[in-house]
Structure 1
């Protein structure tokens, strides 16, 4: 059930059924081969979320690898490409449904962001309408040059083949925040050609590895993809890209979002974007 706060305009989905979902599996990893959610061997795998925030199987889990102790940074080129291919295939399958207007591919990594199972995995939510954050970006289009071919100069972190780049945003709200996007506009994951899919996989392996090496430990992070809505609209300015929000600002020190930021929606970042980019380039 979606509600809109009459004072702030914020949207909230009330999903009381998720209160009963387990915090940790009772025994073994359900995502390892032979486990509850992966009874057969697999390379990559998807399945409906047992505790979905949406009805009608519009929430899915994506398993990146059968290796429990791996991370995206440990994937080989073929493995990373398989994950991107699965994201694209599920985006298309969900987006083709009449009751879906937007497909959000995302990952929560680490217990600091509430990930209860360490096995490498992400999720997909299929919204009936375009969520506010994605809608804001779509309405702004590329008028700001935020995703276009203009080089982010001293904030550039890494590049990949076929024109994909990763950089720290000009007004980063997280200390080591990253945006990944192709230099030339591609509207959504299903529209990526084979070279673009490989380039995205390669770049994700690269930058997640840099984040892990930065403080010599796996970086807890949130990642999400913004892409063209699947609502049948034109959306000529849609430009596929990923946001990565790492939680740590120093070894073992988490960047907390406090009342002054939530109350004002003005963010206070203790690390300059150019400095963050330099540290990631060196990692």
Structure 2
């Protein structure tokens, strides 16, 4: 893999990742006249829940569902420069222009929120990156093919290592939102990576659970699910299964057979094997109904500095679609109390996904 670092017109970093079998010179300049990025995000502490909330009101002005011929993630072409100056690319990563968290964030914030002495304030420090999987606007991840998907896995691993090395970053979260129903504002195939200055709630809860348990919860879950009725796809290195207590109508979790803390720890064989299983299951998601299923793919990695020996890397893939023309909305119980009520049966979902014929 070849990584080339350049700068956009407003100073943001852009990184081109190319397969080393097909080296390309990346010299195009960003010709746009862009004002400097100014980020005023804050982190506010919820004293009752013990969680941090990012306040990022500047994101209201971000690009929202532009026409396909005005997509800012397409390659640049004569007369229409985009976020990516090159006329073609393989995989690209760049700093988000409308980030929730940024390393250059305004640091001068008061100690607490107005009138709330328990609501500690911190600068919205961190980093938010956009990952473009391909320069083809209408191609989904499920259609990338194994070589490009493997390059994306290598990019995720590279960014995890780089972002985790930033002083003050405690957790690195690569993810993809796919489909307008999920809330995607740009239809070009892409994902994001958030580098948080704290351990986010899901990871913190999991870490607390495995530490309080009598046995090895991760190992017990992986071992039991690999032998259970909810396996959707597997090979020697990975198992993809519908979790027994799935929260989402369609949910699959991917666990490597061998325990590793994060993406950089995966060897070549494990990365190749993940691509095989992941593209298989994505294809099943894409063809379960007449129209492709919207989804979120979320990597659950070990924190940067804490609990690394206890963690087991895994990926969540889930959809809010519960039937051909029905979506799962987070209503009172889910949104108000965080108590999920699932409209589907995990064993049935696994059977349905196994039965999908991918063209």
How far has the Cα of 1:157 moved from its partner? 0.4
Q: For structure 1, which segment, 27-36 or 118-127, has the greater mean C-alpha deviation from structure 2 after superposition?
A: 27-36
2:311 counterpart of 1:238: yes
Residue 100 of structure 1 pairs with residue 174 of structure 2: no
Q: Which residue of 2 aligns with 1:54?
A: 101
Pairing 1:76-155 to 2, within 5 Å after superposition: 76-141=145-210, 142-143=216-217, 145=219, 147-150=221-224, 151-155=226-230
Deviation at 1:144, TM superposition (A): 5.7
2:133 to 55, 64, 76: 64
Distance 2:182 2:336 in 1: 21
TM-score (norm 2): 0.75
Match of 1:174 in 2: 248
8 Å contact from structure 2 (residues 65, 187) kept in 1: no
Match in the other structure for 1:266: 339
Structure 1: distance between partners of 2:252 and 2:74 = 30
Structure 2 partner of 1:39: 85
Q: CA–CA distance in 1 between the matches of 2:335 and 2:220? A: 24
Say if 2:58 is the partner of 1:12.
no
Pairing 1:192–2:266 present = yes
Q: Deviations over 1:174-193 (max 9, x none)?
A: 11111011011011001110
**Count of matched residue pairs:** 281
Larger Rg: 2
Q: Which consecutive residues of structure 2, in runs of 5 or more, have no partner in the other structure?
A: 1-41, 104-125, 211-215
2:234 to 146, 159, 164: 159
Task: Supply the distance in 1 between the matched residues of 2:355 and 2:43 (Cα, whole angstroms).
Answer: 44
Shift of 1:263: 2.5
Q: Secondary structure at the match of 2:129?
A: strand
Judge which range, 233-242 or 174-183, deviates more: 233-242
Q: Does structure 2 retain, via aligned residues, the 8 Å contact 1:80–1:198? A: no
Higher relative contact order (CA 8 A, sep 6+): 1
RMSD over aligned Cα, in angstroms?
A: 1.7
CA distance in 2, matches of 1:248, 1:167: 18
TM-score (norm 1): 0.94
Per-residue CA shift, 1:212-257, capped at 9, x if unaligned? 11002111111110111113x3521111101112110001210111
Q: Is 2:51 aligned against 1:21?
A: no
Distance in 2 separating the partners of 1:123 and 1:199: 23
Return the alpha-carbon distance in structure 2 between the equivalents of residues 155 and 234 of structure 1: 28
Q: Gaps spanning 5+ residues in structure 1: where?
A: none
**CA distance in 2: counterparts of 1:222 and 1:129, whole angstroms:** 22
Return structure 1 stretches of 4+ with deviation > 6 angstroms: none
